[in-house]
Amino acid sequence: MTRPLRLGVNIDHVATIRNARGGDHPDPVRAAEIVARVGGDGITAHLREDRRHIRDADLRRIQEATDLPLNLEMAATEEMLEIALAHKPHAACIVPEKREERTTEGGLDAAGQHNTLAPIVWKLKDNGIRVSLFIEADERQLDAALKLGVPVVEFHTGEYAHAHLDGDSDKLARELKRISDMAALAAKNGIEPHAGHGLTYENVQPIAAIPQIAELNIGHYLVGEAVFVGLESAVRHMRELMDEAR
C-alpha cells in the first residue's frame, strides 16, 4: 500500500547523544533498524561539516542496515558532493550550513546561489540521486528551485514551529497559509513538496493535512520523545497523528 504521506525520520540526534561520550552507544544504525521495523518510510541524516552528529562511517552502515531510502542532508560543498556521489543515497537534500548555528536555522538561498548550486544539483541528478532543496516557503525561492530543475523541495517549517511555541495564532495562521500556498504552487509546477523542522505531536497535524505535501522529515522531537517512551512508540504515534490528519 502506498502511503499518502511519508515519514522520514532524522536520526542525527541519536548520534549527538553517542558523541557526547565518544563511544558507540547509542548507535544511530540501531535507530534506523527500529524506524524500518515500525513502518517509517525513510531515514534522514545530516552529515555536517564539523561531524557533530552523523559521521562519515555511519552513512554506509545505515545504508547496509536497512532497505529504507536514505535522504542525505548536505551543504552545497565539493566535499559533501564527493561523499554523496560515493554513497549514492536515494535522495540528497541541500541545506544551508553555518558552523556556529545550533541547527539549520533558515532555508537555503536558492535564488541568490543559483550558480553555486547548479553544478552540484546537476551532478547529483546525473548520478540518479533525487535532489531536494531545503527552502523557505516563498515564491522567489520556489522559482529558483524550478530554474534549477530539482524534483523536490522541502519547506522549512521552523517559523511555523516557533509561532506554535509562542502561542502566536496570527503568525501561525500566516505561516501555515504560506506553506500551504507554496505546496500547491510547487505541485502545480511538477515539484514534489516536503516539509520539516521543529515538527512535534502538537504542531504536525495542520502541516500533515496539506494535501500536496508528500513527506515530512522529523528528528529532534522524536529522539527526545524516545527518551521517555522509546523510539518505536514515538515513531508509531507520530505516524498515527499524520494519518489522522490526512
CB of 119 to ligand PXP, least distance (A): 21
Q: What is the largest CA-CA distance in the chain?
A: 48
CB of 222 to ligand PXP, least distance (A): 7
Q: Please tell me whether 3 is known to bind a ligand.
A: no
Binding residues for ligand PXP, rule: CB under 6 A, are 10, 46, 73, 93, 95, 103-104, 134, 154, 196-199, 217-221
Nearest to residue 61, comparing CAs of 27, 90, 84? 27
What DSSP string describes 178-191?
HHHHHHHHHHHTTP
Task: Cell numbers for 23, please give them.
Answer: 563511544
**Cα–Cα distance for residue pair 151/146, rounded to 1 Å:** 8
CB of 108 to ligand PXP, least distance (A): 9
Q: Please tell me whether 71 is known to bind a ligand.
A: no
Of the pair 10, 141, the CB lying nearest ligand PXP is at 10
**Cα–Cα distance for residue pair 194/165, rounded to 1 Å:** 22
Of the pair 26, 219, the CB lying nearest ligand PXP is at 219
Helix (H/G/I), strand (E/B), else coil: 137: coil
Q: Please tell me whether 23 is known to bind a ligand.
A: no
CB of 199 to ligand PXP, least distance (A): 6
Q: Which residues belong to the active site?
A: 46, 73, 197
The torsion angles phi and psi of 128, rounded to 5 degrees, stand at 75, 15
Task: Cell numbers for 34, please give them.
Answer: 527500529
Q: Please tell me whether 162 is known to bind a ligand.
A: no
Binding-site residue ranges: 10, 12-13, 21, 48, 53, 103, 198, 219-220
Binding-site residue ranges for 3-amino-2-oxopropyl phosphate: 10, 21, 198, 219-220
